[in-house]
A and B are shown apart, each in its own frame.
Chain A
Amino acid sequence: MAVFTRGFGGRAREQDDRLPPGQFLTEDFPVLSAGPTPRIDTDEWEFQIRTETGEIHRWDWTAMQALQQDDITRDIHCVTRWTKLGTSWQGVSLDTLFAEVESGYDFVMAHSYGGYTTNVPLDDLLDGKAWIATGFDGEPLAAEHGGPARLLIPHLYFWKSAKWIRGLVMQQDDEPGFWEQNGYHAYGDPWLEQRYS
């Protein structure tokens, strides 16, 4: 039973069924990160997927741009409680990138330039659910929002959409990543309010 706060009315109730529990709508695009923004030149940028055999699949910027580019429109939900509706991204589906990857492992650790990590089950990256995004609103993705390329997994809280993505490592077990070791939930489903561990 909640405690009522005397005199608090709140503003007009947000009845949008696109809003997960405990979230509020924002028109802004707030920035959240744990350290300085890495600046990675696209000439030096590389994305890798590494499997349990030690095999490494690599794409440089030119190779990534040569793959099929999807236009993606999705709502995004930050654990700090803002939700931004109908954001527009451009990027490469993880289905495309995993097409030639063989692995018996079910979990993935995403690694970023700058050292950030986050863990995701492989199933959450496939079947049209996740991308390597390099564009936002038709423009190159800005560094403070994770450019030149970030992971985009819009059905999970947005900390899972690792900025400055550098690679994915297949893992046998669901090891915790950076925020997951610092008090946040291992999976992060916004519709189940899986905020904290």
Chain B
Amino acid sequence: MRRTGHVDVWKAATVVAATQLTPSGRSLTLDAPGWGGNLAGQHADVRLTAPDGYQAVRSYSIASADAGDRMEIAVDRVPDGEVSPFLVDAIEVGDQVEVRGPLGGWFVWRPEDTEPVLLIGGGSGIVPLMAMVRAHEAAGSTAPFRLVYSVRSPQDAFFADELATATGVEVTWIYTRRAPDGWARPAGRLVAADLQALEAAGDEAPSVFVCGPTGFVESVADTLVAIGHDPARIKTERFGGA
């Protein structure tokens, strides 16, 4: 893990950009002097402090993998949540929070990794996988990269424009409720046949990263094992959040 200073130290961070990604999702770019960069797939603790000193902390995956003090997080609004509605609906450029990290040394991709990679994301589970796509592109890595991204409908996709033009990654879209007009695959959840269709390309067995809601991750990981993937090469990350 790359670190400057101890991960237990809270650092002040200023919101320098905010972009609505979907009706419920928003990207925030934070500038945190002393952050010192993170690996693709790591996350950060974000702390908010109210005027009376009350604090709330949540962990968010980081969508970027930069060497400097900036990071992009993407937050999906959890109905009845305490923190995510504030980050999606209220916080503005110039406002401050605190961050701690980077955290997690398991669900990460490093530019020196050369084996083929299969990324499978559900909903806002795309966030750490997006960091990997960006790190792969920025490094000019020749490791074969595929992304399978499952969303309810086109309007629920995070980073759709960027994924449409990203180089070095082959993207397969799975629409579970409503597909675009004329889309060949009928809307429906990701099944074994979708993943088996990828195998036809004849790559050597990839390392797999799966991220999304628990039900999605359980289902996809079980399916991968059932069609012959080595469980030891499947890394999963699930989110609950609030």
Contacts and interface: CB of A to CB of B under 8 A. Distances in A.
Nearest to B240: A30
A46 interface: no
B96 A6 contact: yes
Interface stretch (A9-17, A68-76, A101-109): A9-17
Interface in B180-234: 214, 218, 221-222, 224-225, 231-232, 234
B104 A3 contact: no
B98 A3 contact: yes
A46 B234 CA distance: 25
Contacts of B218: 31, 37, 144
Interface stretch (B5-13, B62-70, B135-143, B162-170): B5-13
Q: Identify the interface centre among A13, A30, A82: most chain B CB within 10 Å of its CB.
A: A30
B113 interface: no
A2 B231 contact: no
A10 B82 contact: yes
Nearest to A32: B238
A8 B236 contact: no
B206 to A, nearest CB: 15
A8 B221 contact: no
Given A10-B82, A34-B235, A82 B240 contact: yes
Contacts, number: 107
Contacts of A2: 10, 47, 49, 53, 55, 98
Given A5-B48, A196-B7, A30 B236 contact: no
Given A5-B97, A7-B91, A81-B57, A35 B221 contact: yes
B96 to A, nearest CB: 5
B222 A182 contact: no
Q: How large is the interface on B (under 10, 10 to 19, 20 to 34, 35 or more residues)?
A: 35 or more
B69 to A, nearest CB: 15
B51 interface: yes
A88 interface: no
Contacts of A6: 95-96
Interface in B55-109: 55-59, 82, 86, 90-91, 95-98, 103-107
Interface string A34-50: 11111000000000000
Interface stretch (A21-29, A53-61, A90-98, A122-130): A21-29
A7 B92 CA distance: 10
B7 A183 contact: yes
A5 B235 contact: no
B49 A80 contact: no
Interface in A140-197: 144, 178-179, 181-183, 196
A115 interface: yes
Q: Identify the interface centre among A4, A13, A31: most chain B CB within 10 Å of its CB.
A: A4
Nearest to A31: B214
Contacts of B10: 2
A96 B87 CA distance: 49
A8 B50 contact: yes
Given A4-B50, A114-B231, A183-B105, A37 B1 contact: no
A87 interface: no
Given A3-B12, A3-B96, A144-B218, A35 B234 contact: yes
A5 B59 contact: no
B242 A35 contact: no
A10 B86 CA distance: 9
Interface of A: 2-11, 13, 22, 24, 26, 28, 30-38, 80-82, 114-115, 144, 178-179, 181-183, 196
Interface of B: 1, 7-8, 10, 12, 47-51, 53-59, 82, 86, 90-91, 95-98, 103-107, 214, 218, 221-222, 224-225, 231-232, 234-236, 238, 240, 242
